[in-house]
Amino acid sequence: MKKVLSGNLIIIGGAEDKEGKKEILKRVCDSIDKNEDVLLVATIATDYPKEAASKYKEVFGELGVKNIKVLDISERTEASDDMNVELIRESALIFFTGGDQLKITSLIGGTPVYDALEEAWKNGAFIVGTSAGASVMSDTMIVQGQDDDDPRKCTLKMSPGLGLIKDVIIDQHFAQRGRIGRLLTGIAQNPEVLGIGIDENTGIIVNQSGRIEVIGEGAVYFIDGSAITYTNVSELYADDILSMHNVKLHVLTDGNKFDLIKKSPFEEEKFSHEDTTKENI
């Protein structure tokens, strides 16, 4: 069976706590050596890069990270700059802020910066994204759709993402903005992929074998359309309400785990004292 990813990803649903306990961002920082490693804040998605960089540098500094740098790309030509490429290469963790996910792909897609990002990811660097930085992680991303609305046939605008996690569509600010309808529409149009909706101040940690751990105060929603038996999705009457049958939904919270390959939740295997003793003989 095809692997769905290769690398270490932390994907956050947006509006993560930056003032209180900062539990999610603490987990982010704990992924690296806070004294030695470089944490790179990529402000590509936002229209306010200086403000975003300043805030995250402050928060990550409070959490003990000593080496914090910023990748600010506002023009596509800057994604070919050797200094920006080197910033990616020297970083142990690259953190994509929120904003507009289409800005990320349009500014760095197919450039030396993207090549360096892909190489860093394959070599074990942590890639982290919040809000728009979360949606862009997958190979197909939602760029526009109606919030707080019924699922409708063809009201969703999608585009290629960075492709760091395969065969999924990720949506963020999920329950807070009522995005179940638009993610269902995405799955109706692409039933072979898995829909993942992530609440605010909630995230998923994805390891190299495709196993996910949920962290944070909200929920993560996994929508599996692989067994759909009927849908009325089509280009005709695009604004009609979507009908679809036999869709599977899993709702996971902090500490719960999910297997992307098997498309199912799981619990860690527990070994008895006897089994452990036998292995040590």
Active site residues: 131, 173, 200
CA distances from 203 to 143, 151, 212 (A): 20, 24, 10
- Distance, in Å, from the CA atom of 181 to the CA atom of 112, rounded to the nearest integer, reads 37
172: Cα separation from own chain's centroid = 9
Angle between helices 101-108 and 112-122 (to 10 degrees): 110
Residue 263, class by beta-carbon neighbours within 10 Å (0-12 exposed, 13-18 middle, 19+ buried)?
A: middle
Reduced to 3 states, what is the DSSP secondary structure of residue 225? Answer: coil
Q: Where are the alpha helices (DSSP H) in 71-179?
A: 82-89, 101-108, 112-122, 132-135
200: Cα separation from own chain's centroid = 12
What's the DSSP call for residue 78? G
- Distance, in Å, from the CA atom of 240 to the CA atom of 78, rounded to the nearest integer, reads 43
- Distance, in Å, from the CA atom of 141 to the CA atom of 132, rounded to the nearest integer, reads 10
Angle between helices 112-122 and 82-89 (to 10 degrees): 10
